[in-house]
Amino acid sequence: MSAEHDAFAWRTFEEWLPFLQSEQSARFVPLWRAHPRGATAVLVDGRDTTAPKSPAPRPGG
C-alpha cells in the first residue's frame, strides 16, 4: 500500500494549500477562483487559458 493513500481528509482550499506542491497549486488556483462565480476554467497542459494575458509589446516601442 502506498503511503500517499493511507489517509484522507476533508479540507477547505486554504487548508490544502500548505500540502500542495507549486505545480499542483498552479492548477488548483484557477479552478478555485472560477468556482464561486460559476465560471469555467480551462487548463491546457496545467496552464490556465482563461487568465488575462499580458498585452503584446508594440513594435518599435
- The pTM assigned to this predicted structure is 0.51
Instruction: State residue 12's pLDDT score.
Output: 87
Residue 47 corresponds to which cell in the numbers above? 496552464
Residue 23 included in any domain: yes
Instruction: State residue 25's pLDDT score.
Output: 80
Residue 26 included in any domain: yes
**CB count in 10 Å sphere of residue 47:** 11
Residue 16 structural domain = 10-48
Asked whether residue 42 carries a pLDDT value surpassing 60, the answer given is yes
Residue 4 included in any domain: no
Instruction: Name the band, by pLDDT with cuts 50, 70 and 90, for residue 31.
Output: confident
